[in-house]
A and B are shown apart, each in its own frame.
Chain A
Amino acid sequence: MPTPEIPLLINVGYIVVTAAVFAFLGKLIRMPSIVSYIAAGILLGPVLGLVHFDHSLELISELGIALLLFLVGLELSLEKIRDLWRVAFILGGLQVILTSLGAFCIALLMGFGTVEAVFLGMTATFSSTVVVIKLLDQKGETSRLYGRLAIGLFLAQDLVVICVLTILSGLGDQAQMDFFGLSKSLFFAFSGMAVLLLTVLAAARYVLPQPFIWAARSPDTVFIWALCWCFLVVLLAHLFHLSVEIGAFLAGIAIAQLPIHEDLHRRLHPLMTFFVAIFLVTLGIKMELAQFGEIWLSALGLSVFVLIVKPLIVFAILSRMRFSEYTAFQAATASGQVSEFAFILLGMGAAAGLIEGNIVSLGGLVGITTIACSSYLIIYSEPLYGLFQRLHLLRLFRPKQEPDPEDLRAQSGHIIVIGMNSLGREIVQRLSRRGEDVVAIDTDPRKLEGLAPAETVIGNVEYESVVREISLRNARLVISALQIEDANHLLAYRCRSAGVRCAIHGFDVSMIEDLLDLETDYLIMPALDGLVEQRKLLQKEGVLPT
């Protein structure tokens, strides 16, 4: 039975409040939110000892990672994946080999033993999928070519991580130490991957479309079903010893083939943001600061390698693969940090007795340092690219100068019509006949049918991401036919803030005053217009004198 003790709430409370305060302070000095979250975690964990990483926080962190990768999958159609997989495997394979060798040599030069150098080499090799996707998402660039390349690279790295973790768990478990046992585990993991991929593709084609179309008018049902699907595939991945990331990513790809994927993405996004913020704070909470004095110099050397040499390796490979200088630079910048997997990897090495505790602390410190620094690099990658261009530093690698073809949609001068009831549809059709560039929005896909040539978007305008997607700021006019007072008020407010004209459905007299306060340009009042029309009709039919 429920009891008054509320440990999880207290922990989450500390985390959320501290993260919010740090994020607010960080905003003042233009610090990326990821760095603020990690700093909040360091304060709560190693410094004040207020929060300890427990099973519940671990679950929340896992949920965040799963949701993040699920959302990445949600943005990938099968065509995009077909374009990507070959590049991802070549890039991933070469990068892993070159980076691990380089870091291994650096570690040897720093005086570490061979086994320790192997672990540090592996630590430096893998990049953080979670951190990079979070930052790309913040920049709204997950679907850019360089974003997709980076994601492809990290997922290829994940496959290598699975091999390494499988080998390490074999080393920890003497029963599986032999070559046969390890091969069996690896075979199990890779055949599991194939099974999972086939399951997901078959589900995307034959199982998921009908139920999701049936439930499309019930957003809560679709939302819960999509989450359930995500965690079921994650569980299936877990059965094959595959990572949460791979399971969630594949689950997302299946849903990405359905028409409702964009709306689902927007609805799931806040949930992911919450869980991932907690995950990032827990990275700070788990930090060990006791051995900082002994390891800081090695940490600095390795961090420099991860932040500079590793991106250079990625840049060189992508340049060779004939990607443009811009794409190669942006993708390379995204790779300059250590993955959270490194912590697990080092932990397993220590548990197997292969490395000492100080190597684990060193890995942790390199991880936090590189994640913090690369957050700045990724967020400010555009001015950084400008600087490198001016200094001609990138020409050494002879990259392609012509930009890569990308479909960058930026609308302006269009008219947005929200709510496809009979009024909304009538307006869209008349505007299209008038030759206007119209974007029609509704949460129900069926209401958007038959509105061509107008562009249609499934979504709820209460979400900021929808407002961005429909380029509200660049619109000539925003029209709401909705009969939802709160949504109409919010739209009028957003239009006033953006300086865009708006016409809002004033379906009830009581809301007119508020809409006028919000400087609505035109009030749509069907009841009143109906009366005028009725009067005209009565005059035409001779009931009333003209």
Chain B
Amino acid sequence: MTAFTVLMLAAALAFGLAKVLKLPPIPLLMISGIGLRLLADQGMIDISDDLLREMTQIGLAMLVFTAGAELSPRRMRGRAKPIAVLAISQFFVLGTAGFGTALLLDYSVIHALYIGCALSASSTLVVVRQLQQRRQMFEPYGRLVLGVLLLQDAFIVLLMVALLKLPDGAIASALGVLKTMGIGVFALGLHKWLVPWITQRLQLDDEELMLGSLAVLFTFAGMAYLLDIPFLVGAFFAGFALSAFPMNGLARGLLGSLSAFFLALFFISIGAFLSLPSLETIGHSFVFIAVLLVVTIILVSIVAELLGYSTRAAVESGILLSQTSEFSLLLALTGLASGQIGGELFSMIALITVTTMTLTPFIARERIAWSLMKIHPRYKRGELHCETMTDHAVLLGYGRAGARSIRTLQQHGIEVVVIDDDAAVIRKLIEQKIPCLQGDGSDKEVLKRANCRRARVVLSSMRRSRDVILAINYLKDFPAKVVVNTFEHRETEQVRAMGGYPVETSQAAAESLLNWMEANLPKAQEAKS
């Protein structure tokens, strides 16, 4: 119990620091683990390797199980093509870049393969946390990124089996992949038919749901073990089998606590197993990190934009995906356990993972995305010259509702010009022959170019209130009415105080809901009487 309490204390410290420093907890948990190892080596605390090993094993199983449980095909519905294209291109281009760089740095082919695979996937845990913090989980690009991550996890599981069996020959390797796919097909069957049937027919309580889910995990892990492939493969597909709606939702809350608990202990234990890398290895790590950052950001930005996403979404996707995955650690750990790689390479992959995960919150800032967007070539051809326009409407930001607003205004014979700083949005508008200008809606020069001083109305759907304030400040001396879509009550008051006309969407939605209730739901007193 003492050793276990020490592990919990290290985890508590790591989570506290992660909150103070606004970093993801994974790297700090691993650093806590390294600290524990140092204390144990000096005899200040006593933590047995057996305990760490057991926590690693259970943590691994929970990690891949949880990842599999998020792999619901439902999430990718309607986006299967862009997700598949982006996931495959990032996985293979980045993997090849990592493999090539490793060969150039004199690593053996098998080690280069491990490095390439480790670099090729991004971290679901880190990216989901970032998206949640920014409330962008369910924006189009958030969905794209999530889909890509989940497919990459599946790729890395398959590759892990192929790599592990490689020393036994190509046939053994292919057989391993086939067995893995067999388990995958079995899991698909359960996912499609049995799990929905069980959810519909049996009224399972929390305890039965959790125990049943864990029983599926251990049954699949046992199947994998019997088929002589890593038990993690079974754990992953067990998660996939349970990812069918509504089972995934019902079990998520229950398994969430278990996985949070074991994952914290897992990353600490991994940290405690790390050895200090040599200076040369540290140097190599930085080379691989540079390759990872440059290739991911450029590649993902280009491919995502080609797939129809806005420049901002494409650049933000590239930045968000620029770290290695917890599955990279898993791959390295499996390679280490099988003797295919040594402690030094394991530590290097761990160092790359810790560094890139730590970097993510710093580079995934809006400011960096905006500055990268400015590098993007402009689609000047087709931009409108508005100097002669009068009594027109100007849209600051195309947004989700832009098309509808334009239609309404044009129906009433009002000319419209859209200002947006997203190159891909501008390209689409030019294609649709909608008058537009590329630029920042809060920039005086851009507003001048749109001849706002002679406009009848300016409609803003810009997200940042700072931009809105700048635009209103410029426009307040002109006759144009400035109508601003606001999201918070505070913003509404601010816009009104500055002479703008706020449209608070939440108030409008609440009003509509209450109108519906008036018509369809009797008031509380009436219902009681």
Contacts and interface: CB of A to CB of B under 8 A. Distances in A.
B partners with A: yes
Interface of A: 1-4, 6, 8-9, 12-13, 16-17, 19-21, 23-24, 27, 33, 56, 59, 62-63, 138, 211, 215, 218, 220-221, 223-225, 227-228, 231-232, 234-235, 238, 244, 267-271, 273-274, 277, 413, 421-423, 426-427, 430-431, 434-437, 460, 462-465, 476-477, 479, 483-487, 489-490, 493, 501, 503, 507-508, 510-511, 514, 521-522, 524-535, 537-538, 541, 543-545
Given A227-B261, A232-B5, 14 more contacts: A2-B337, A9-B61, A13-B218, A224-B264, A238-B2, A244-B1, A423-B505, A437-B524, A477-B521, A483-B138, A510-B143, A522-B516, A527-B401, A543-B456
A7 to B, nearest CB: 8
Interface string B23-61: 001000000000000000000000000110110111001
Contacts of A268: 257
A371 B401 CA distance: 64
Contacts of B57: 2, 6, 8-9
A21 B459 CA distance: 62
A525 B401 CA distance: 12
A235 B1 contact: yes
A521 B338 CA distance: 55
B514 A434 contact: yes
B92 interface: no
B487 interface: yes
A529 B214 contact: no
Contact of B521 (A3, A221, A501): A501
> Majority SS of interface residues in chain B?
helix
A511 B142 CA distance: 14
A16 B408 contact: no
A138 B206 CA distance: 10
B503 A524 contact: no
B135 A483 contact: yes
B501 interface: yes
Contacts of B15: 218, 220-221, 224-225
Contacts of A464: 205-206, 209, 250, 253
A271 B135 contact: no
B381 interface: no
Greatest chain A CB density within 10 A among B217, B253, B412, B516 is at: B253
Interface residues of B, number: 108
Contacts of A463: 206, 253-254
Contact of B246 (A33, A225, A490, A521): A490
A508 B527 contact: no
Contacts of A1: 273, 336-337, 343
A141 to B, nearest CB: 15
Contact of A232 (B9, B56, B528): B9
Contacts of A4: 337-338
Contacts of B505: 423, 526-527, 529-530, 533
Contacts of A543: 393, 414, 456-457, 481
B404 A531 contact: yes
B378 interface: no
B514 A221 contact: no
Contacts of B4: 59, 63, 231
14 contacts: A1-B273, A19-B211, A220-B260, A221-B16, A223-B260, A224-B260, A270-B206, A422-B506, A434-B514, A435-B525, A486-B249, A522-B520, A533-B508, A541-B501
Query: Which A-B residue pairs are the 7 nearest by beta carbons?
Result: A20-B215, A490-B249, A530-B505, A13-B218, A462-B253, A228-B12, A529-B508
Contacts of A231: 1, 4-5, 8
A511 B510 CA distance: 20
A528 to B, nearest CB: 8
A538 B459 CA distance: 10
Contact of B58 (A12, A434, A524): A12
A530 B521 contact: no
B137 interface: yes
Nearest to B336: A1
B258 interface: yes
Contact of A8 (B11, B54, B225, B523): B54
B240 to A, nearest CB: 16
Greatest chain A CB density within 10 A among B57, B405, B456, B501 is at: B57
Contacts of B218: 9, 12-13, 16-17
A460 B509 CA distance: 23
A2 B137 contact: no
Nearest to B78: A510
Contact of B258 (A232, A271, A430, A503): A271
A31 B248 CA distance: 27
Given A8-B54, A490-B250, A541-B501, A270 B258 contact: yes
A1 B16 CA distance: 28
A529 B512 contact: yes
Contacts of A221: 15-16, 18-19
B210 A270 contact: yes
A484 B514 CA distance: 22
Greatest chain B CB density within 10 A among A227, A238, A422, A434 is at: A422
Interface in B206-258: 206-212, 214-215, 217-219, 221-222, 225, 231, 245-246, 248-250, 252-258
A270 B61 contact: no
Given A2-B57, A2-B336, A507-B138, A533 B412 contact: no
A436 B257 contact: no
Contacts of A2: 53, 56-57, 273, 333, 336-337
A318 B367 CA distance: 69
A215 B336 contact: no
Contacts of A484: 137-138
B294 interface: no
B506 A16 contact: no
Contacts of B338: 4
A422 B488 contact: yes
B211 A16 contact: yes
B80 interface: no
A514 to B, nearest CB: 8
A225 B16 contact: yes
A503 B343 CA distance: 55
Contacts of B12: 224-225, 227-228
B246 A234 contact: no
B176 to A, nearest CB: 15
B252 A462 contact: yes
B281 interface: no
A320 to B, nearest CB: 37
A535 B249 contact: no
Given A6-B57, A460-B253, A545-B412, A530 B485 contact: yes
Contacts of A501: 521
